[in-house]
């Protein structure tokens, strides 16, 4: 393939390639360091230590405690565990608040809760820019609401939601707050206390790690029923032998993109504005689908 015919990949919101440094970090755990983290052998202990180092890397980016980080198979599982796990842990509350523009993992989990668990769901609409009004979310909360779930950055049009404002209003009403932050890693501040959320979902293949590994942040004290039962892995919140290589890659990748976040945001903002300005100057009657 010549340089002139090489394709330009513009679908990073869908998935990213594995960064060479990330691939390098995970390779030992695909070969010589193949131990099971639940094993008491030296090989197993080294695998467990690698998982905990990666957990600490994720926790530093989120500015949370290490034991609040749960590794999953990806963003969809994290979203499902957040919604269903909280619903099952609060059987006396049967109402969920979300928006009409969530990722299909959240909308699908909400539908499943409606159909099989008798949960009522309020879908709050967004304005012409794709932004939800925090006051509208607060107005939708009822005495039996167990969770508010609003994504941080939209996977279709990139709109950034006022999560901190929504989380504050939810907390004032004694309701837990979840955000799907899958599209935000490496681009937006993920400091948990600034966001004010109780649960947060990430998917590593959006930030230069392999597919099949994700994160669910669970604030200390948040009651959550696991969806996968078996062993005691992930402090009994997600059974199953850990994907050690994926976990190592996830920690390395999240730390890497956070280090480069200021420069990346400056570069991408400039490219975004140049693209929008060029299209608006060239195409008559064009409408921007989203928020400038």
Lowest-pLDDT range, 2-16, 114-128, 134-148, 212-226?
Answer: 2-16
- Is the CB of residue 118 less than 8 Å from the CB of residue 107? no
Identify the DSSP state of 30. Answer: G
Identify the DSSP state of 143. Answer: T
- pLDDT higher than 70, residue 2: yes
Where are the extended beta strands (E) located within the chain?
69-72, 95-99, 120-124, 145-149, 176-180, 199-203, 214-218
Rounded-to-integer distance, Cα 159 and Cα 179, Å: 14
- DSSP secondary structure string for all residues of 162-185: -HHHHHHHHHHTT-EEEEE-TTTT
pTM of the full predicted structure? 0.96
pLDDT of residue 58: 98
126: left (phi over 0), alpha (psi -120 to 50) or beta: beta
- Is the CB of residue 123 less than 8 Å from the CB of residue 99? yes
* Residue written as token pair 């993992």: 105
pLDDT of residue 1: 63
Rounded-to-integer distance, Cα 127 and Cα 146, Å: 25
pLDDT tens digits for range 74-83: 999 999 999 9
Res. 117 pLDDT band, cuts 50 70 90:
very high
Q: What's the full length of the chain, in residues? A: 292
Tokens at 247, concatenated: 């976990």
- pLDDT higher than 70, residue 176: yes
- Is the CB of residue 37 less than 8 Å from the CB of residue 48? yes
Rounded-to-integer distance, Cα 183 and Cα 75, Å: 10
- Is the CB of residue 185 less than 8 Å from the CB of residue 43? no
> In the Cβ-directed half-sphere of 202, how many Cα atoms lie within 13 Å?
30
Identify the DSSP state of 59. Answer: H
Across the range 255-273, mean pLDDT stands at: 97
Rounded-to-integer distance, Cα 98 and Cα 150, Å: 6
pLDDT tens digits for range 136-167: 999 999 999 999 999 999 999 999 999 999 99
Rg (CA), the chain: 20
pLDDT tens digits for range 26-42: 999 999 999 999 999 99
């Amino acid at each position: 393939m010549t340089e002139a015919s090489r394709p330009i990949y513009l679908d990073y919101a869908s998935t990213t390639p594995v960064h060479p440094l990330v691939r390098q970090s995970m390779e030992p755990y695909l070969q010589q360091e193949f131990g099971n983290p639940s094993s008491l052998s030296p090989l197993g202990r080294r695998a467990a230590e690698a998982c905990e180092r990666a957990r600490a890397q994720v926790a530093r980016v989120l500015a949370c405690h290490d034991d609040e980080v749960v590794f999953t198979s990806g963003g969809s599982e994290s979203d499902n565990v957040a919604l269903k796990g909280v619903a099952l842990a609060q059987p006396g509350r049967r109402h969920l608040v979300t928006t009409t523009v969530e990722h299909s993992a959240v909308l699908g989990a909400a539908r499943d809760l409606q159909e099989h668990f008798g949960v009522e769901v309020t879908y709050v609409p967004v304005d012409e820019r794709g932004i939800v009004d925090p006051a509208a979310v607060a107005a939708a909360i009822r005495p039996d609401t167990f969770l508010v779930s609003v994504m941080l950055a939209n996977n279709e049009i990139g709109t950034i939601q006022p999560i901190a404002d929504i989380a504050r209003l939810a907390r004032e009403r004694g309701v837990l707050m979840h955000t799907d932050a899958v599209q935000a890693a490496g681009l937006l501040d993920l400091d948990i206390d600034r966001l004010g959320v109780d649960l947060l979902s990430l998917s590593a293949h959006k930030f230069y790690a392999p597919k099949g590994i994700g994160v669910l942040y669970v604030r200390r004290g948040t009651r959550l029923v696991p969806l996968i039962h078996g062993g005691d892995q992930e402090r009994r919140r997600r059974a199953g032998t850990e994907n050690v290589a994926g976990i190592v890659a996830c920690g390395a990748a999240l730390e890497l993109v956070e280090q480069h976040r200021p420069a990346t945001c400056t570069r991408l903002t400039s490219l975004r504005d140049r693209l929008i300005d060029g299209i608006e100057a060239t195409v008559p009657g064009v409408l921007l689908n989203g928020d400038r």
